[in-house]
Structure 1
């Protein structure tokens, strides 16, 4: 991927989710590009070939339930992800599980947005994580 703007990778099996997220980034995070990958394998294949790496990964439902910690560990070690904010989405966010993800190195674990006001909040949160990571 050769982009002029910093970019966020959305890892999500559902193309309709991508369209929803794309609206959010165009509306509230125009300084970032959003690229969609339907699987972790597709993302790793695409980013292994290019020089540009994402500034953030937003993951929703692309890893099997119960294996999130394993996949998070794997992604945090991958060269394409080392400098990126990793944010995992879920239908519900339990604080103990969120704390485990943060301890492991994730930037956040957020509730998946389903309404525009929730999307605006989550896109803003992702953008803020990127800004903090960039200035760290």
Structure 2
């Protein structure tokens, strides 16, 4: 992978979610490559993760479901992910979830977009949060 190219990791078990987000990134943030990981382990198995970490990580339901706190903690403790922008995705967030994820190190939260206008807004917000690799 080109280490100068920005990339965003999407951790979700749902391939349809990836296709939806991929459409958005290709349309409104084509300078950023979106990569899909169906499990947290698949993310850590990426061969060049240490030398070319993502600019942003989008964390959505992983296998097993509702294990986001475990993965968020594990990801942010990993050497490659120190200071990583982590955006939590959900249909909604309870106050308890918001507080828990924030305490664990989540950078921000996005309600999953339900239409193209919301997707555009979310993709542009994510692309603005993606620091440029040097």
Q: Pick the TM interval, shorter chain.
A: 0.7 to 0.9
Deviation at 1:14? Answer: 1.6
> Counterparts in 2 of 1:42-121, with a 5 A limit?
42-47=42-47, 51-121=51-121
> Structure 1 residues 3 and 15 mapped into 2: Cα distance closer, same or farther (>3 Å)?
farther
Give the alignment's TM-score, normalised by structure 1. 0.82
Deviation at 1:102? Answer: 2.1
- Bigger RCO (CA 8 Å, 6+ sep): 2
Deviation at 1:129? Answer: 2.0
Deviation at 1:34? Answer: 0.7
1:57 match: secondary structure? strand
Q: Which has the higher helix share?
A: 1
1:13 aligns with 2:34: no
Deviation at 1:25? Answer: 0.6
Distance (whole Å) between structure 2 residues aligned to residue 4 and residue 71 of structure 1? 26
Give the alignment's TM-score, normalised by structure 2. 0.83
2:45 match: secondary structure? helix
Distance (whole Å) between structure 2 residues aligned to residue 74 and residue 86 of structure 1? 12
Gaps of 5+ in 2: none
Which consecutive segments of 4 or more residues in structure 1 shift more than 6 A? none
Deviation at 1:64? Answer: 4.0
Gaps of 5+ in 1: none
| Contact 1:10 1:58 (8 Å CA) reproduced | yes
2:92 match: secondary structure? coil
